[in-house]
């Protein structure tokens, strides 16, 4: 079962990093109010979470990956958060994945 905190994420911003085919996601944990950062890659099933104390990016386990991916896909479908891209002069709504 996915961690309870990951089930209570609120996506705040998405940034498409076009050269890397990934999306940088800024989220907020409802229960703690802490910011969590994720990298979601287009051609890779893994999702990475930033560990600020160790300055590393760690892969999520399968259950947490599935949980975050479901929420990410829902946010994309609903276009419910601000979306940006690293390309200049592009439409701010992402045509992701």
Q: What is the pLDDT along the chain (97 residues), one digit of tens a residue?
A: 556 667 789 999 999 988 888 999 999 999 889 999 999 998 888 999 999 999 999 999 999 999 999 999 999 999 889 998 887 655 555 555 5
Q: Considering the entire predicted model, what is its pTM?
A: 0.82
Domain ranges across the chain: 4-85
C-alpha distances in Å from residue 71, one per residue of 10, 50, 56, 81, 91: 9, 18, 23, 12, 23
pLDDT of residue 8: 86
Residues 91, 34: Cα–Cα separation, whole Å: 30
Size (the chain), residues: 97
């Amino acid at each position: 079962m996915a961690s309870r905190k990951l089930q209570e994420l609120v996506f705040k911003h998405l940034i498409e990093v076009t050269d890397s085919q990934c999306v940088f996601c800024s989220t907020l944990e409802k229960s703690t109010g802490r910011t969590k950062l994720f990298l979601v890659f287009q051609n890779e099933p893994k999702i990475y979470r930033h560990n600020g104390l160790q300055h590393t990016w760690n892969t999520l386990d399968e259950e947490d990956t599935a949980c975050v991916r479901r929420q990410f896909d829902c946010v994309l479908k609903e276009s419910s958060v601000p979306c940006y891209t690293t390309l200049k002069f592009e439409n701010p709504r992402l045509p992701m994945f």
